Each structure stands twice: as structure tokens, then as C-alpha cells.
Amino acid sequence: MSVKQISIFIENKKGSLAEVTEFIAKSNINLKALSIADTQDFGILRIITDNPDKARDILKSEGYTVTATSVLAVALTDSPGSMAAILGVLSKADVSVEYTYAFMSNVEGRAYMIFRVDNNDKASKALVDAGISVINQQNIF
């Protein structure tokens, strides 16, 4: 029950982000969420799209360094404490969080968070058992 996130390796240089997002737009791919990890030399652009396979393939054929990662999309109520609750569950289940980022949904009062964890199955089970919704690809859009 995971979502396919596409990561793109880009130069930490003026214009690289604009260049890749322009390319994604031109290819008619809709971005739902994104985050960037940056270092002095490079950035890792992580995107959630409506068509991750298409995104990966066209980016790769355009010469980009790309990879697909299975991440979890978790639904939370748009109120204080929801994120802490999720992290509490994961921690108790001994799941490591590599990174996370959030985005709003179309539904009022609801937000999503993307998690990359060290064990998707363990994490999914713990969250579902705690009554937290883990969303799959189609239901984000």
C-alpha cells in the first residue's frame, strides 16, 4: 500500500530546478507534492505525480539520473498533534523514518504526509492498527 515517488538528481546550480520542472510541465505531468534535499554539490528532487512511471521514463530518456522509491502516504487531520501521533506510532513500532514531507489534499480538514521508512510493511501495519489511514496511489488524486 505504497506510493511511487520519483527522485531526480540535480545540480545545485542556478536554473537546474527550473529546467527540470519545466520539462516535467511540458511532458504534461501533474505534480502533487515535492521536496528537495540539498547539499553543496547537488540536490535530490523528490516528486509525487499522477503518473510516476511515465515521469521516470521520460526523465530518464532526457538524460536525468532518476530512481523510483516506494514511500508511504499517510492521511492526517489538519489539526495540531496529528503528525506527532504518527511519529509516536512509528517509533513504538521501531520503524526508522528516513525523511518526510507534507502536502494538502482536496478534502477539507485533511492533509497528507509522505514518509520514507526503513520497512514499509511494518510501518503500514502499525499505522493501520492505530487507526491511521495509509493511502495508495490512486486515492491521492
Asked whether position 49 contacts other proteins by CB under 8 A, the answer is no
Asked whether position 103 contacts other proteins by CB under 8 A, the answer is no
**CB nearer to other proteins: pick between 29 and 105:** 29
Asked whether position 118 contacts other proteins by CB under 8 A, the answer is no
Q: Which distant-in-sequence residues (6+ apart) come within 8 Å of 108 by Cβ?
A: none
Asked whether position 57 contacts other proteins by CB under 8 A, the answer is no
Distance, in Å, from the CA atom of 12 to the CA atom of 21, rounded to the nearest integer, reads: 14
Question: Is-contact 8 57, C-beta < 8 A?
Answer: no
Only segment of 11-19, 72-80, 87-95, 127-135 that touches other proteins (CB under 8 A): 11-19
Distance, in Å, from the CA atom of 39 to the CA atom of 32, rounded to the nearest integer, reads: 24
Q: Which grid coordinates are listed for 141? A: 488524486
List interacting residues with other proteins (CB under 8 A): 5, 7, 9-11, 13, 16, 37, 39, 41-42, 44, 46, 60, 63-67, 69, 98-99, 116
